[in-house]
């Protein structure tokens, strides 16, 4: 059964909107940031990672965002172009804003942290004038990142994009992507998250992220209550993630589908969510059933947390399928299925 109807005559498959940054991941792992001395540079930011992930999987991807007018901005646009991502709607800032910088700490395979520099960053300078209706009309889906709602003018630009998507039957995917930087308080988070969630078709987030989204609606919800709330608003698929406990997709017909993580030798504990989202969305675009889509997402996530980078290590479709095949041969056919 197909839960999402994409307009298959569109030129592009998916256009993420919002945050693109620079990740610096330590080469001397298992040390604190204070002790680390050597880092490798990557393109980062959840929407950017998802864009790269989908491009690696063979989809035609665009991007709507702002970058710095300097060598780091040049690095991002060159990287996107090399990955086959359309950059015609990636604009340069005009007032000296810099790309956000993310320094990661990999203390152990299960203990990682992220230090972000997010003051006056380029991605939050996205403006309503940067949102082109024709571009949104020409794609099957947009991916909205919750971090893009943290400040003006980016939040108004995102809200405009969502409204134009609804007007033009473009699927709206809300990747909640909570980062505490730049938000003033939880009420502000709830106001803007819930506004986009009400107009989405697919929402992907952790339990914590859904709690923040529902902060002005209720004091507590179970996963099934959360799913019903947003499905009742018109969403078609709700995905609630619980880290190492797995994730569950809830669909408008009342069904739910649960997936567990694939066994893997961890290197880090971040980045898996972006790989999960890109692979899951790829499978939906390919009209796969929900369980197979979840399995592909879970496998891709496992591959990312076993690797050093996020964007640079996004796998191809064949690589993910080979990973699943090898895992099933070792652990059994139903290894990731709850």
- 248-266 per-position pLDDT tens digit: 999 999 999 999 999 998 8
pLDDT at residue 1, rounded to an integer = 65
Query: Does the residue 279 lie in any domain?
Result: no
pLDDT at residue 46, rounded to an integer = 96
Give Cα separations from 4 to 10, 13, 147, 330 (angstroms).
Answer: 15, 13, 25, 34
Find out whether 139 and 12 touch, Cβ atoms under 8 Å: yes
Percent of the chain predicted with pLDDT > 70: 100
Query: Does the residue 293 lie in any domain?
Result: no
Query: Does the residue 69 lie in any domain?
Result: yes
Query: Does the residue 103 lie in any domain?
Result: yes
Q: What is the extent of the structural domain holding 191?
A: 12-246
pLDDT in tens, 303-314: 999 899 999 999
Could you tell me which of 59, 56, 46 has the C-alpha nearest to residue 20? 46
Tally the domains of the chain: 1
Query: Does the residue 136 lie in any domain?
Result: yes
What would the mean pLDDT of 10-31 be, rounded to a whole number? 96
CATH number, domain containing residue 89: 3.40.1190.20
Query: Does the residue 276 lie in any domain?
Result: no
At 337, the pLDDT band (50, 70, 90 cuts) reads: confident
| 59 vs 180: which has the higher pLDDT | 59
Per-residue pLDDT at 232 exceeds 70:
yes
Query: Does the residue 199 lie in any domain?
Result: yes
Query: Does the residue 261 lie in any domain?
Result: no
Find out whether 197 and 203 touch, Cβ atoms under 8 Å: yes
pLDDT at residue 243, rounded to an integer = 87
The tokens of 277 are what?
A: 């989202």
Three-state SS at 253:
coil
| 61 vs 182: which has the higher pLDDT | 61
């Amino acid at each position: 059964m197909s839960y999402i109807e994409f307009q298959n005559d569109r030129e592009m498959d998916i256009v993420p909107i919002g945050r693109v940054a620079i990740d610096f991941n330590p080469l001397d792992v298992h040390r604190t940031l204070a002790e680390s001395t050597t880092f490798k540079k990557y393109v980062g930011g959840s929407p950017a990672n998802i864009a790269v992930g989908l491009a690696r999987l063979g989809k035609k991807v665009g991007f709507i965002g702002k970058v710095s007018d300097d060598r780091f901005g040049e690095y991002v646009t060159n990287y996107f172009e090399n990955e086959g991502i359309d950059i015609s709607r990636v604009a340069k800032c005009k007032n000296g804003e810099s790309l956000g910088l993310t320094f990661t700490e990999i203390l152990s395979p299960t203990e990682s942290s992220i230090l972000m520099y997010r003051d006056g960053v380029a991605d939050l300078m996205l403006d309503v004038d940067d949102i082109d209706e024709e571009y949104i009309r020409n794609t099957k889906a947009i991916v909205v990142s919750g971090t893009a709602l943290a400040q003006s003018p980016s939040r108004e630009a995102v809200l405009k994009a969502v409204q134009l998507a609804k007007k033009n039957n473009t699927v709206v995917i809300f990747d909640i992507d909570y980062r505490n930087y730049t938000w003033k308080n939880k009420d502000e988070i709830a106001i803007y998250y819930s506004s986009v969630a009400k107009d989405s078709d697919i929402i992907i987030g952790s339990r914590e992220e859904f709690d923040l989204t529902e902060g002005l609606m209720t004091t507590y919800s179970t996963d099934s209550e959360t799913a019903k709330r947003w499905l009742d608003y018109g969403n078609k698929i709700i995905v609630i993630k619980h880290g190492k406990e797995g994730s569950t997709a809830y669909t408008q017909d009342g069904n739910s589908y649960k997936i567990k993580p694939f066994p893997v030798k961890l290197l880090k504990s971040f980045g898996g969510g972006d790989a999960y989202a890109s692979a899951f969305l790829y499978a939906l675009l390919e009209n796969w059933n929900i369980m197979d889509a979840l399995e592909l997402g879970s496998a891709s996530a496992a591959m990312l947390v076993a690797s050093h980078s996020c964007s640079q290590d996004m796998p191809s479709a064949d690589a993910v399928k080979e990973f699943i095949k090898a895992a099933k041969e070792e652990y059994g056919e139903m290894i990731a299925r709850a």
